[in-house]
Amino acid sequence: MTIYNERYRPQFHFSARENWLNDPNGCVFHNGEYHLFFQHNPQGGQWGNITWGHAVSPDLIHWRQLPDAIRPYDDGMIFSGSAVVDSENRSGFGRGPQGPLVAAFTHAKKPFGQAIAFSNDDGRTWQLYDNGRHVVSNQGLDDGERDPKIFWHAPTQKWIMALWVQKGRVRFFNSEDLKHWEHTGDFAGNGFFECPDLFELPVDGDPKRRKWILNDAAFNYWIGSFNGKTFVAETGPLQGNFGNNFYAAQTWNNTGNRIIQIAWMNNGQYPGMPFNQQMSIPCELTLRATPAGIRLYRMPVTEIEGLYLDNYHVLNKILIPKQDLYVQPRHDLFDITAEVEMNRDAVYSIRLYDLDITCTINQIDCLGKTARFRSLNGFVKLRILIDRTSIDLFANEGEICMSSCFLPDRKNTRLQFRADIQPVHIRSLAIHRLSSAWR
CA distance 302 to 306: 8
**N- to C-terminal Cα distance for the chain?**
15
Q: Do residues 423 and 320 touch, judged by C-beta distance below 8 A?
A: yes
Nearest to 186 by CA among 232, 251, 144: 232
Phi, psi of 15 (to 5 degrees): -140, 150
Sign of CA dihedral 124, 129, 132, 135: negative
Question: How distant, in Å, are the alpha carbons of 31, 192, 211, 396, 415 from that of 207?
Answer: 26, 29, 10, 23, 42
AA letter at 309: L
Does 23 qualify as catalytic in the annotation? yes
Tell me the helices (H) and strands (E) count for the chain, helix number first.
0, 34
Beta bridge partners of 146: 164
Phi, psi of 302 (to 5 degrees): -65, -20
Of 23, 332, 335, 392, which one is the catalytic site residue?
Answer: 23
Q: Do residues 162 and 170 touch, judged by C-beta distance below 8 A?
A: yes
Beta bridge partners of 203: 206, 287
Active site residues: 23
